[in-house]
Amino acid sequence: MLLKNKNLNKNLKILSEKYFELKKKEGNDFLGVLDDSGEYKKVIDILDLDKVAKELFFKKLSEKYYDVYIGSPQEIIDDFLNKLGNITEDFKEAEFDKLYNSFECFLYDDYLEVTHYIHLYNYAQTLQIMLLSPQIYIRKTTINEKREELDESHSGFIISSYISDFVIEIKTRIKKEISSDKSLRYSNNLEEHNKIINIFDIVLNSLRVLKKSSVFLSNRNVTNISAFTSQSKITFISSNLKPIFEGDICQITEVETEELKSIFNFIHENSIATAKNKDEQRLRIAITRLNDGITRDNPIDRLIDYMIGLEALFLPDGNQELQYRLITRIAFNLEKKFEKRKQLYKEMKEYYDERSKGVHGDSGKLKKEDVNKVEEILRKSILTWKYDKSIFDSENLTYNFFR
């Protein structure tokens, strides 16, 4: 990155080195000593003489999405040093350069960088960072992020009972707008926030479509605006945390990365498709019902969700001869060999009968393993749609038996 203020870069680097030196030498009282130092005053003078930076002092930024109040030059520099101190325990030029790039973007660019993240629970991957798209990835969490998650999630025992070593992170940009109105309002960013929540959900759905597991999201997500002020972090906490208490940890190997990325793009593209497309609506129903079923405590509720998902995929032409059409189409299109089709047909008939009994209050013979099998059938059906959508065209579902 080409430096826009070489003098600021040079002197802020000197001040940062002194920050770590005094922190080790003076202990808790080092900040007062630092503020009185010539290095500190030199950096403040440079900011005061910068006409572009001066426009930010005591102003509000980004009225459209997230209001951020910027204080004095001293507050800006203090926040830079605190951020650097949270990243590393000793001065490291590479970490300084990385943070300084963000600092210059904050001072001089027309846009602000924004990161949003949420913790994944019961999840592990072999890569430190897994890219799902250029702006969306799953990465290793930091020590500070884990500490804040435990302190702020309001979930106490539930959260502390699980392992969260990874977060989903999304990068966006917002236009930098400067206002003299210092009042802060957070009501305008609801639409933007909902878009981010939807992407978090799509990543979770992608993991659940890829394989069976007990992975779930935190009830807390964080927005970090690349503004150098204590006002730049916003935490959203929902009340509806729904962890999954049974199942394996979702472990993604490097080999599975491309498949997960493919599933994510497939579901993401479907989520932004036109609402008038009935085929895309069918797929959304199936994915939603898979996700809903996984979170149900009652086995019959899970079975009902999975069956509705299968009906959405295999019964686009209505409910006539519902049971026969559903189980025949599932058996024929998901298996290739006659004996396997016959076995799947038999099993689906039993599952459908149990679903019908459960709707009417009789679930005494329902087995957990049977519900898990239906979950796998729905998962396999969604993936079959991904690889060959034409199978689920109404005409093909009707006449594939004769080809």
The tens digit of pLDDT for each residue in 254-301 reads 999 999 999 999 999 888 665 557 778 889 999 999 999 998 888 889
Residue 268, domain member (yes or no): no
CB 176 within 8 A of CB 66: no
For residue 42 the two structure tokens come to 């030199």
CA 64/CA 286 separation, integer angstroms: 36
CB 289 within 8 A of CB 312: yes
Confidence bin at 157 (pLDDT 50/70/90): very low
Domain check: are 16 and 123 in the same one?
no
Domain final position from 108, 135, 152: 108
CA angle 81, 171, 17 (to 5 degrees): 15
The Cβ of residue 97 has, within 10 Å, a number of other Cβ atoms equal to 13
Domain check: are 139 and 151 in the same one?
yes
Q: What is the DSSP string of 257-276?
A: HHHHHHHHHHHHHHHTS-TT
pLDDT at 360: 47
Q: Which of 224-238, 308-322, 337-351, 365-379 has the weakest average pLDDT? A: 308-322
Residue 24 has pLDDT above 60, yes or no: yes
Domain check: are 200 and 130 in the same one?
yes
Q: 186 lies in which domain range?
A: 111-237
Domain final position from 237, 258, 287: 237
Domain check: are 211 and 283 in the same one?
no
Mean pLDDT over 325-354 rounds to: 85
Residue 79, domain member (yes or no): yes
Domain check: are 227 and 291 in the same one?
no
Q: Name the amino acid, one letter, at 364.
A: G
Total count of domains within the chain: 3
CA torsion, points 143, 147, 153, 158, in degrees to nearest 10? 90
Residue 248, domain member (yes or no): no
Residue 260, domain member (yes or no): no
Residue 393, domain member (yes or no): yes
Residue 143, domain member (yes or no): yes
